[in-house]
């Protein structure tokens, strides 16, 4: 069918033509927004799940919901080995702009605090170029959020921004993607300041998204984090939602899938949103006419898999060194040895991986740690690991 009218959108963070199966999270977030704006205690949302389930897209939708309510919002993506100061400063700068506080001197003050906060990253000795803070021309405010202790600074900064929002009867939302990649000091400071802010009833929330072990990262940092955040597991779509994700956009273009085609699509994609978009796109391009049939799905599958091999799996696999690839393949083998379905999201014992490779577990720690850091695997419980990418085991076995 006409590729120009192809509605599907495979790609990280690509807004899907139909956001299926996320009504519950959207509704829950509306309640959070209302309550926080009224200064009532409320746990913020943290979205967790494997890669490709739609966390980034949902996080962006939550942000849009906040914007529609007149909130000031900002977003950042955490990166390993990067301090929170700079990206957070830009996100808050954006949020302050969106708030549209009518009194210029108060806005200037808040921006000046943000500048002091970010300059602290470079240290007082830093050259001018490093002190440059994008787009903020307000004079630096000294003695606020610039102590160098991230916890103190974050509490002061978020309190000031929250206060600015409270002044105008609005809220501020800070959206953090890939939250598991924040450094330990930043995580701990973030939890502490969210705790403080919620106690003072200021209308500011941090909304996060990250891999399945994010709750463990947060609670290892501060035991009370479970009471700060409401964890929402974002998972593959149910059959119903997956059908809707395909049918609704097709319907917009006066096309449809027949029943067997929908069944074949679910069998191939497992309901994982990224796979749904990739298959949807390939099948649309291959199908000669509507309705799309199971035969069309079968014909287009190799193309969809090729796309996924490059865009979804390959880009991650490429980041692994030879030793790390051996480790990944051993993980896939360990899963099959157990008789488990290696495509399932199951975890394997690190001891079993070592056994597959015929090595001592300790000697494999460097490979395992590097893979954890690269976000290819995660550890939800001690001594066990799992792929962060669904169907990764299957992809690896096909490689071999
Ligand atoms: N609820 C949904 N319904 C249909 N497609 C979705 C949904 N959520 C995400 N997608 C699609 O899935 C893909 C991955 O989404 P993304 O948000 O990048 O996942 P993650 O951040 O969890 O890795 C994108 O192509 C997106 O369009
Ligand atoms: Mg993402």
- The pLDDT tens digits of the residues spanning 56-71 come to 999 999 999 999 999 9
Supply the pLDDT for residue 153.
Answer: 97
By most ligand atoms within 8 Å of CB, the mutation choice from 23, 25, 57, 392 for ligand 1 is: 57
Q: Is 22 in the pocket of ligand 1 (CB under 6 A)?
A: yes
Q: Residue 300: CB partners within 8 Å, gap ≥ 6?
A: 279, 282, 283, 285, 286, 287
Instruction: Say whether pLDDT at 336 is over 80.
Output: no
What rounded mean pLDDT belongs to the chain? 93
| Plot region of 62 (φ>0 → left; ψ -120 to 50 → alpha; else → beta) | alpha
Look up the CATH number of domain 23-233: 3.40.50.300
Q: Which pLDDT does position 345 carry in this prediction?
A: 59
Q: Which of 53-62, 128-137, 229-238, 279-288 has the lowest mean pLDDT?
A: 128-137
pLDDT at 54: 98
Cβ within 8 Å of residue 138, ≥6 positions away: 107, 108, 109, 111, 112, 115
Expressed in angstroms and rounded, the spacing between residue 58 Cα and the centre of ligand 2 is 9
Q: Which pLDDT score is estimated for 342?
A: 45
User: 322-399 sits in which CATH class?
Assistant: mainly alpha
Q: What percent of the chain has pLDDT over 90?
A: 83
The more confident residue out of 121 and 371 is 371
Token pair, residue 41, equals: 């205690």
Give the pLDDT of residue 380: 85
| Class of residue 31 by CB neighbours under 10 A (exposed 0-12, middle 13-18, buried 19+) | exposed
pLDDT at 338: 61
77 forms bridges with which residues in the sheet? 177
Q: Name the pTM for this structure.
A: 0.94
Provide the percentage of residues in the chain whose pLDDT is more than 70: 94
Does an H or E element contain 77, and which? strand 72-77
């Amino acid at each position: 069918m006409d590729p120009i009218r192809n509605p599907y959108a495979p790609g990280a963070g690509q807004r899907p033509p139909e956001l299926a199966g996320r009504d519950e999270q959207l509704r829950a977030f509306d309640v959070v927004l209302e309550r926080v704006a009224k200064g009532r205690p409320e746990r913020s949302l943290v979205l967790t799940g494997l890669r490709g389930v739609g966390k980034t897209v949902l996080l962006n939708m939550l942000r849009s919901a906040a914007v529609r309510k007149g909130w000031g919002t900002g977003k950042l993506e955490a990166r390993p080995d990067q301090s929170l100061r700079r990206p957070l400063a830009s996100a808050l700068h954006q949020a302050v702009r969106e708030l549209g506080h009518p009194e210029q001197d108060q806005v200037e003050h808040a921006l000046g605090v943000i500048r002091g906060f970010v300059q602290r990253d470079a240290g007082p000795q830093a050259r001018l170029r490093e002190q440059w803070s994008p787009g903020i021309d307000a004079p630096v405010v000294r003695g606020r959020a610039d102590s160098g202790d991230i916890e103190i600074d974050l509490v002061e900064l978020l309190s000031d921004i929250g206060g600015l929002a409270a002044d105008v009867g609005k809220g501020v939302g800070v959206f953090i993607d890939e939250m598991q990649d924040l450094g330990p000091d930043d995580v701990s400071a973030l939890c502490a300041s969210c705790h403080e802010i919620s106690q003072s009833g200021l209308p500011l929330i941090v909304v996060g998204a990250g891999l399945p072990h994010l709750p463990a990262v947060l609670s290892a940092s501060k035991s009370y984090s479970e009471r700060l955040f409401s964890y929402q597991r974002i998972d593959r779509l149910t059959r119903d939602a997956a059908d809707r994700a395909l049918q609704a956009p097709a319907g917009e273009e006066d096309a449809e899938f027949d029943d067997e085609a929908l069944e074949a699509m679910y069998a191939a994609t497992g309901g994982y949103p990224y796979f749904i978009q990739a298959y949807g796109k390939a099948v649309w391009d291959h199908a000669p006419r509507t309705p799309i049939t199971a035969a069309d799905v079968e014909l287009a599958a190799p193309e969809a898999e090729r796309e996924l091999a490059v865009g979804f799996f390959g880009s991650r696999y490429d980041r692994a060194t030879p030793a790390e690839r051996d480790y990944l393949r051993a993980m896939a083998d360990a899963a099959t040895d157990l008789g488990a379905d290696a495509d399932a999201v199951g975890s394997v014992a690190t001891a079993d991986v070592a056994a597959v490779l015929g090595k001592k577990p300790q000697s494999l720690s460097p490979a395992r740690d590097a893979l954890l850091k690269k976000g290819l695997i995660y550890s939800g419980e001690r001594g066990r690991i799992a792929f962060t990418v669904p169907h990764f085991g299957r992809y690896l076995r096909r490689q071999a």
